[in-house]
Amino acid sequence: MGLDRRVFFKLLGVTGLTLAIGKESVATPKGKDEVEFFGILYDSTRCVGCRTCEYECAAAHGLPEPSSEIEAVRKTDETCNTVVNTFQTEKGEVYVKRQCMHCNEPACDAACLTQAMHKNKTGPVTWDGDKCMGCRYCMISCPFDMPKFEFHSSNPKIQKCDMCFDRQKTGEMPVCVTNCPNEALFYGKRRDLIKEARRRIYEQPELYVDYIYGEHDAGGTGWLYLSPVPFEELGMNTTLQNSSYPALTKGFLYSVPSVDLLLPPLLLGIYAATKNKQPKEEENE
């Protein structure tokens, strides 16, 4: 036995120290330069339905100018990244701007097998045409049905709001925010937007319903909504789950390496066990 009492105490001391110090160093935050998600707060009580954002968005993204005729309820499509719809409610006309929600954990990003759909560190979910193979699995997965596909093109692209990612990189705000005449759109860090939304609801409880759409819906989204009427009256899906959509496939994805590693030895074992028992081919007919 090479372990006497002195060595034992020394080891004990070293172990204790390592546990104490080691634990402390693990517990420190990862570094202060971590980037926070940016997002946009949309306050439908301030929106006047002028559709300036639609025109500016189309111009900034090289898309055709929106038609001046307004149908009842429009959806975004491959030629327009955002629409403002009008709803008749007991509180009068309410306008709602719709576009990609830029989820915290986007289903489209998790679905994409080439990482063409990508959640950037600062928040915007963008599409990369050099990687995309046009499988449209992002469209199947998105709970908001936001990625749109150019079905009538031989070189089709996926179209959706990119939160003006290129402008954001140069420090500018998205075009819809800059051009909104009535400050219905408010750009900032997502954390600050939630604080601001809470403040507005708290200060004017008679004006707003007490709900921030996008705070938890689909696991949290980059766009946050305030409304004077319940959100289901504005055509928003309020039955979405509060956990993120990629979480739905986690169980399956985690099982893949285990099956890939465990099944072959099992099969090999069964093979070895049955190998020598060789009945004649004609016997069992």
Partner 1 sequence: MNNSVYSVTKVKEHKFNWQFLFNELKPKGKWLTPFNIISIPIILLGLALIVYRFIFGIGSITNLTQEVPWGLWIGFDVVTGVAFAGGAYVVTFMVYILNMKNYHSIVRVTVLNGFLAYAFYTGALLLDLGRPWHVINPMIGNSFGTSSVLFLVAWHFVLYMLAELIEFSPAIAEWLGSRRAHKILSGMTIGAVIFGITLSTLHQSGLGALYLMAKDKIHPLWYSEFIPVMFLVSSIFAGLSMVIFEGSISRKVFFNRISEKNEKAQKGIVRGLSKICAVAMFAYLVLQFVVFIHGRNWGYLNSPMGYWFLVEMIGFVLLPMMLFFYSYRRGNILMIRIAAILTMVGVVLNRLNVTVIGFRWDLPVHYVPSWMEIVVTLAVIFTEIWIFRWVINRMPVLGDSPAWVSEEK
* Interface segment toward partner 1; rule CB under 8 A; list 24-32, 34-42, 61-69, 240-248: 240-248
Residue 277: CB minimum distance to partner 1, A: 6
* Interface segment toward partner 1; rule CB under 8 A; list 3-11, 61-69, 143-151, 226-234: 143-151
- By C-alpha distance, which of 106, 166, 95 is closest to 137? 106
User: By three-state DSSP, how is residue 225 classified?
Assistant: strand
Determine the Cα–Cα distance for residues 151 and 149; give it in Å rounded to an integer: 6
Q: What residues have CB less than 8 Å from 188, skipping those under 6 apart?
A: 38, 39, 41, 196
Among 69, 71, 90, 130, binds partner 1 (CB under 8 A): 130
Residue 25: CB minimum distance to partner 1, A: 30
Among 50, 209, 229, 240, binds partner 1 (CB under 8 A): 240
Percent of residues in the chain assigned helix, strand, coil, to nearest 5: 35, 15, 50
Question: Angle at CA 43, nearest 5°, toward 138 and 67?
Answer: 65
- By C-alpha distance, which of 53, 45, 79, 77 is closest to 163? 53
237 binds partner 1 (CB under 8 A): yes
* Tokens (6 digits) for 96: 């709602």
274 binds partner 1 (CB under 8 A): yes
Using the minimum distance from each CB to partner 1, give the nearer residue, 43 or 78: 78
75 binds partner 1 (CB under 8 A): yes
Determine the Cα–Cα distance for residues 50 and 57; give it in Å rounded to an integer: 13
Residue 83: CB minimum distance to partner 1, A: 13
Among 41, 57, 80, 110, binds partner 1 (CB under 8 A): 110
249 binds partner 1 (CB under 8 A): yes
284 binds partner 1 (CB under 8 A): yes
Per-residue DSSP letter, 66? P
Among 18, 140, 169, 242, binds partner 1 (CB under 8 A): 140
Binding mask 22-41 vs partner 1 (x if CB under 8 A, - otherwise)? --------------------
Among 19, 35, 59, 270, binds partner 1 (CB under 8 A): 270
Work out the end-to-end distance of the chain between its first and last CA atoms, rounded to an integer number of angstroms. 67
Q: Are 85 and 73 in contact (CB under 8 A)?
A: yes
Q: How many Cα atoms are found within 13 Å in the side-chain-facing hemisphere of 175?
A: 18
> Tokens 């708290």 map to which residue?
202
User: Which residues sit at the interface with partner 1, rule CB under 8 A?
Assistant: 75, 77-78, 107, 109-116, 129-137, 139-141, 143, 145, 148-156, 237, 239-241, 245-246, 248-249, 251-253, 256, 259-260, 263-264, 267-268, 270-271, 274-275, 277-285
